[in-house]
Amino acid sequence: MTTGTLIHPSAVIEPGAKLGVGVQVGAFALIGTEVEIGDGTIIGPHCTVSGPTRIGRDNHFVGHAAIGGPPQDKKFNGERTELVIGERNVVREFVTLNRGTVTGQGVTRIGDDNWLLAYTHIAHDCQVGNHCVFSNNTTLAGHVTIGDWVIMSGFSGAHQFCRIGAHAFIGMGALVGGDVTPFTMVAADEHGRPRGINSEGLRRRGFDPERIAAIKRAYRTLYVAGLPLAQAQQQLAEQARDSEDVKAMLDFISHGERRLLR
């Protein structure tokens, strides 16, 4: 334990845990062995942090979160896997973040500057980028990949091995069963399906009208024109010559393991 930490008398810090400068641990929290917590991070009351878990600096776990628990996978047999969390994340009440599996990547990874709101669940081997917002009760199955700046609304979820590209917006209650291209907005029907691009989010992040227009053209090609996927990809390849954003969409489509959500 490093000097400058503030530990509530009722908290339990197991041997082998490493706490940085200025770490705070609240009442009745449990910090397990093989847990590393970076400078300035706050672990709120009744949180459980199990290892092997590495947490960066200046995160805030508000309370009652279960961090670094074993994966909810029947094939898991106690192998050594990890959870790695970046910096400046806010993790609200009753969030659950599981470690990876040896049949996956061996590590579940959360990036920087994310908001994980109450009852969010991120399963084993998920890879989450930066600046994402997961609203209450968001659920990711195993092996899901989330790009930067993704917003997932309340009660939304993603099937295992799905990918959701950067700047996508998943509407309330939408259940994603296939890959979602970058910049796309998905809303709930019986299952979530594409309903346009996340234009408001792109404007807020400084995308100029020309960039947004190019993304809209690509969206219409992919989702509105009724083209077979191969033909749509050919047209996107032509559009990508003048747009790095369209190129990002095309690259995303080319590397999927699951069907594209169309």
Indicate which residues carry an active-site annotation: 124-125, 142
Determine how many CB atoms are found less than 10 A away from the CB of residue 130.
Answer: 19
Residue 251 one-letter amino acid: D
Q: What angle do CA 252, 255, 261 make, to 5 degrees?
A: 65
The kind and range of the H/E element at 219 are: helix 209-219
Region label for 224, one of left (φ > 0), alpha (ψ between -120 and 50) or beta (otherwise): alpha
Residues 6+ apart with CB under 8 A from 230: none
Residue 210 one-letter amino acid: E
Cα separation of 85 and 88, whole Å? 9
72: phi then psi, degrees, rounded to nearest 5: -85, 70
Strand order in the sheet with 115-116: 6-7, 24-25, 42-43, 60-61, 90-91, 115-116, 133-134, 151-152, 169-170, 184-187, 193-197
HEC string of 32-62 equals CCCEEECCCCEECCCCEECCCEEECCCCEEC
